[in-house]
Structure 1
Amino acid sequence: MLAPTAASAQQTNEQLAARCAELGALYDRYNARRGEGSGGPDMTRLGAGIDCQKGRYQQGIKALEDLLQRKRMPIPPAS
């Protein structure tokens, strides 16, 4: 069994779930595709949302942070 990192050990599941929701909403707000021929949904974003829903918060948060970085969007600090 792997030991949790110091940062994750200090955060509750409730806090991690809130962080997932915060990052997901930020990505959705600024990367919503509109109109015909938009290319469909972002599969990485969908996967991150599923991870968050299933309690795999750290995987979901990492995927969302990676997406935001690729879009050159600032990532808000975790509270």
Structure 2
Amino acid sequence: MRNCSSAPVLCALAGFLLSAAAASAQQTNEQLAARCAELGALYDRYNTRRSEGSGGPDMIRLGAGIDCQKGRYQQGIKALEDLLQRNRVPIPPAN
């Protein structure tokens, strides 16, 4: 890494940008819970099996819902995103 004594303004700017990025990357539990609900509803909308003999509920989807209910938002969101990608459903950007 460069020495900040040679370019203090650039170092200050880089530090500000890094701290802003870290703050925006950390989401609140309410935001994560809302993301879980959004992705779960999206999966349910496009991937609900309605025919007889459909094989029953998707166990990964059920597990992701339980993770979200128990506050394990990162695991639930990851599982839902994987399911949506596997089924070629576009994932909306996180707010």
After superposition, give the CA deviation of every residue in 1:7-42 in whole Å (9 maximum; x if it has no partner): 785200000000000000000000011121011000
RMSD after superposition: 1.5
Q: For structure 2, list consecutive stretches of 5 or more residues without a partner in the other structure.
A: 1-21
Residue type at the aligned position of 1:63: A
Instruction: Please tell me whether residue 63 in structure 1 is matched to residue 79 in structure 2.
Output: yes
Q: Secondary structure at the match of 2:93?
A: coil
1:27 to 14, 39, 43: 43
The alignment partner of 2:33 has SS state of helix
Higher RCO, Cα 8 Å, sep 6+: 1
1: CA distance, partners of 2:84 / 2:24:
20
Q: Does 1:14 align with 2:14?
A: no
Structure 1: unaligned runs, 5 residues or longer? 1-5
Counterpart CA distance in 2 for 1:10 and 1:62 is 16
Q: How many residues align?
A: 74
